[in-house]
């Protein structure tokens, strides 16, 4: 499938756009709210506030009658409690195969990566959307029959070890790995991560794969 552009909007927020149709992933509290401008559909991986703000997303749903959201059950409950129209917020589970705004979507995963044994592990799904994989907060396994063109690669956070991020990128072996989930890093920190993780990913895959996108910079999806 061609003609899709991917842009990053800070932290875990992504937008996929084709012919004016916009699918947004994880428009959380660390992401520019403008990512939702003109959105056709929203996909949410899990309920942590850096991935979704229920009250904010519910208000956008109220203002835009054509907008729909797909998310795990706990997020659906939170959105409905925040006032989201129940008929436009839909539950997803790992294994679901969907068409969202004309784009093919596979729902993967199941659980958030562990932060600490004393911290509860919430549900977390990943989305493979027309060749773009957003794993949420987990090293979400990819089915053997799936090909990933662009991987949104988490590189920072309380659950992330940089070596695990590198190993995950190598397992997935995308054409492009775009670092995300890094709002907690300073510019110096991002530079360090790019140098270490990016260098390792490129060397281990034997090609240039790791690419940081500036907010709003478009990347053509070719898979």
Each residue's pLDDT, cut to its tens digit, for the chain (223 residues) gives 569 999 999 999 999 999 999 999 999 999 999 999 999 999 999 999 999 999 999 999 999 999 999 999 999 999 999 999 999 999 999 999 999 999 999 999 989 999 999 999 999 999 999 999 999 999 999 999 999 999 999 999 999 999 999 999 999 999 999 999 999 999 999 999 999 999 999 999 999 999 999 998 999 999 7
Alpha-carbon span 142 to 34, nearest angstrom: 30
Closest C-alpha to 219, from 137, 151, 146, 170? 151
Question: What distance in Å separates the CA atoms of residue 49 and residue 46, rounded to the nearest whole number?
Answer: 9
Four-residue CA torsion sign, 31, 37, 38, 44: positive
Q: Which domains does the chain have, with CATH numbers?
A: 4-215 (3.60.15.10)
Nearest to 49 by CA among 122, 109, 139, 108: 122
Q: Helix, strand or coil for residue 73?
A: helix
Q: Do strands 123-129 and 132-134 pair parallel, antiparallel, or not at all (unpaired)?
A: antiparallel
Tokens of 206: 């034997």
Residue with tokens 């428009």: 27
Q: In sequence order, what DSSP letters do the residues of 179-217 get, joined into one string?
A: EES-TTS-HHHHHHHIIIIIHHHHHHHTS--B----TT-
- Give tens-digit pLDDT for 15-69: 999 999 999 999 999 999 999 999 999 999 999 999 999 999 999 999 999 999 9
Is the Cβ–Cβ distance between 109 and 126 less than 8 Å?
yes
Nearest CA-CA partner of 7 in 223, 222, 169, 212: 212
**What torsion do the CA atoms of 25, 223, 139, 142 make, to the nearest 10 degrees?**
120
Distance from chain centroid for Cα 112: 13
């Amino acid at each position: 499938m061609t003609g899709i552009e991917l842009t990053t909007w800070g932290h875990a927020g992504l937008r996929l756009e084709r012919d004016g149709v916009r699918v947004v992933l994880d428009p959380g509290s660390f992401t520019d709210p403008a990512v939702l401008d003109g959105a056709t559909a929203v996909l949410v991986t899990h309920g942590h506030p850096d991935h979704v703000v229920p009250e904010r997303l519910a208000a956008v749903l109220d203002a835009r009658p054509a907008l729909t959201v797909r998310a795990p059950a706990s997020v659906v409950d939170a959105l409905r409690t925040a006032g989201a129209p129940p008929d436009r917020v839909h539950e997803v589970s790992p294994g679901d195969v969907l068409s969202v705004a004309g784009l093919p979507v596979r729902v993967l995963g199941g659980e958030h990566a562990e932060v600490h044994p004393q911290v509860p592990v919430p549900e977390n799904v990943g989305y493979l959307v027309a060749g773009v994989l957003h794993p949420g907060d987990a090293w979400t396994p990819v089915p053997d029959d799936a090909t990933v063109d662009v991987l949104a690669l988490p590189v920072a956070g309380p659950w992330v070890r940089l070596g695990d991020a590198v190993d995950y990128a190598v397992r997935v072996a995308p054409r492009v790995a775009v670092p995300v989930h890094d709002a907690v890093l300073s510019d110096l920190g991002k530079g360090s991560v790019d140098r270490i993780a990016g260098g390792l990913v490129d060397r281990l895959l034997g090609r240039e794969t790791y690419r940081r996108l500036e907010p709003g910079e478009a990347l053509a999806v070719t898979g």
